[in-house]
Structure 1
């Protein structure tokens, strides 16, 4: 039996979402601050949940490990750190559970095990979307030293990765609900095939039918014999009386 497409979809999409979430977690680019007062105009201050970096538009120099106690003491930073790490771990756990259930080496998938892994992957996607959405909602309220604020690429990657994990987990859960017991595409649990029983019919008695012999006539193909033809069966025309001892023309 082939693996259902929804299971393959969930098993492929969840690792892709995990990679995007990992990039969003470690990259220090949740928001960018430009035109910082008292700094160079080409300075870009990149802030993440673990680190703060100083980048410049005119060159490729990046200075990380910048101190900012006010920023890291914010509640959203501590919540985002915990939820993003938990999301990465739960995703790995969900993949470890779902992979044996999806199977590529057995006759039938284990829909219950695959669905349990899908629930874990779905929850990991939700745990990613919560801090990402919260951070975006209060983007301007997080303390800063001035300047203009823009959303960093880590927020975008976090949104995409979280949505991918939610879709992957939902696909595995849907397959578990609709296909449990092998009902997908009309599949039914295999049963031992029964050998057809040979019906024994009673032996029929042989009946001899007597043959009917018919007499064949010689020299004729008609069903009657030559001897059966009599003069009475085919009357002949009687000769009329002659006049003057001469027969009529009709008698000739």
Structure 2
């Protein structure tokens, strides 16, 4: 199969890191947003006249509860038509519920595209799921930021000057940021960028180390004859010194004669004779 220089391959069948990041953050953000939606603690009112100092009121977007610091018991049967009549409360109810639904749809769309048992995930489907998750995070941030901006000016039948931020606002901010980040990193998989590292891919010529159109010629091997003299095939006994001397193809230098000392001379030997 002929490959082109523009073809990309995946180095492994693992799920790309951007999908793992998105599939972890999105459900975490959804749980935080669900808690912020149903819990009645977007703000707390302290120092209300005609009630004990230890009591305070918690206001959410669905119900209002009266609590006390003396025990953990709550009374959530309070009615406040003035508070629920604010336009912000109606918009927050719709956006929070819509965000929870859109997140579930986004995960349902993204999971089939993130399948890791194939060479190439469906980047388009997973990217569209990331867009839905990103939008769900935006729908969370809008009412949370709006509510925080006019926290003390929201009308209520319980007049007070000590208004505090509830834990639902904190959870909503964290959950919304989680979903925005999850949707963004999953969306960038639609386009190949950063040299394909966002998809866990690389070019074929980078893997093989061969530049297309400029192939290197293989190295030619040259055999050099051996200079070692082979032994005789008749006997495995090594050559003796005399046979090695007879087997040369050039004359060898003659050894000088051995000098002997004349022992018949009766005189005193000189140093030169020694």
TM-score (norm 2): 0.67
Query: Between Structure 1 and Structure 2, whose CA radius of gyration is higher?
Result: 1
Matches within 5 A, 1:47-62: 47-62=59-74
Alignment partner, residue 137 of structure 2? 125
Q: Which of these residues, 144, 158, 171, is aligned with residue 185 of structure 2?
A: 171
3-state SS of the aligned residue for 2:164? strand
User: How many residues are matched?
Assistant: 195
3-state SS of the aligned residue for 2:188? helix
* Structure 1 unaligned blocks of 5 or more: 190-218, 225-252
Alignment partner, residue 117 of structure 2? 105
* Structure 1 consecutive aligned stretches of length 4 or more whose deviation exceeds 6 Å: none
Deviates more, 1:62-71 or 1:169-178: 169-178
* Structure 2 unaligned blocks of 5 or more: 1-12, 205-245, 252-274
Deviation at 1:220, TM superposition (A): 9.3
Distance 1:23 1:220 in 2: 103
Distance 1:74 1:124 in 2: 23
Alignment partner, residue 15 of structure 2? 3
The Cα offsets for residues 201-224 of structure 1, whole Å up to 9 and x where unpaired, read as xxxxxxxxxxxxxxxxxx895569
Q: Which of these residues, 6, 17, 32, is aligned with residue 20 of structure 1?
A: 32
Q: Which of these residues, 155, 158, 169, is aligned with residue 172 of structure 2?
A: 158
Distance 2:44 2:146 in 1: 17
Matches within 5 A, 1:1-252: 1-144=13-156, 145-147=158-160, 148-178=162-192, 184-187=199-202
Alpha carbon RMSD of aligned pairs, Å?
2.2
Deviation at 1:3, TM superposition (A): 1.3
Alignment partner, residue 248 of structure 1? none
Deviation at 1:177, TM superposition (A): 2.0
3-state SS of the aligned residue for 1:12? helix
